Amino acid sequence: MREIIFDTETTGFDPASGDRLVEIGCIELINRVPTGRTFHAYYNPQRDMPSAAEAVHGLSSQFLSDKPLFREGVAELMDFLEDSPLVAHNARFDFGFLNHELKLCARDAVSMDRMIDTVAIARTLHPGAKHSLDALCTRYGIDRSHRVKHGALLDAELLAQLYVELTGGRQIGLGLAQEEEKEIVRVELTETAVVRPVRPARVFTASAEELERHAAFVAKLDKPLWLEEAPPA
């Protein structure tokens, strides 16, 4: 099964108010295993970059000024996505910006039926815990030491590792399902099998002599703690 892990960087939180998509990074998985195929692109948003957004991803208006417009690279992006399920962290955010850009290009929106949200999966598995990408990477031991700022392709790479862990761990895709097709070997007793006699349970009650020796030992103890009076409450 082919799936695409993707992440976006934007100028803000709301495409309806004029915010635009400025970066997208995609990772291809086949049977939950990365194939090495990726897609990564920056886009000129044709607007200024708010300082708050730049502080998150480090993409300045100057850096993006010579990048192509989304509509100029949309065909290449859609060829990579094909009709595969799309996995994102807080996926409605990323789907919202992707579909907004597609609308501006007079292209059909990506169906929400293709959406897989890793935040929703994490909330089911770990209710009440923190569900940010950083927190979940820490929980699953995924190295993010090289992540200084947000970046679409870097975050997609981290999310690909996290998605595998959230959906069953690294054993997925190793062909374990084939084991179910193997004949089950059953070990049966034969007439030549060694049958061992059943012995009665051993009795561990102390004998009268042992109890007498124990009482004599206790009598020699000097002020044992269990005989001291409890202090007043």
Residue stretches of the annotated binding site for a divalent metal cation: 7, 9, 155
Q: How far apart are CA 134 and CA 231, in angstroms?
A: 53
DSSP string covering 120-152: HHHHHHSTTS--SHHHHHHHTT---TT-SS--H
Token readout for 19 is: 């915010």
**Beta strand ranges found along the chain (DSSP E):** 2-10, 21-30, 33-42, 86-88, 115-117
Binding residues for substrate, as ranges, are 7, 9, 57, 155
Q: Which residues are annotated as a binding site?
A: 7, 9, 57, 155
d(CA 187, CA 226): 56
Token code pair at residue 96: 């919202």
Residues acting as catalytic residues: 150
Start-to-end CA distance of the chain, whole Å, equals 70
160 alpha carbon, distance to own chain's centre: 8
Token pair 């955010």: residue:
93
Residue 190 has a CB neighbour count (10 Å cut-off) of 6
Contact predicate 115/6, CB 8 Å: no
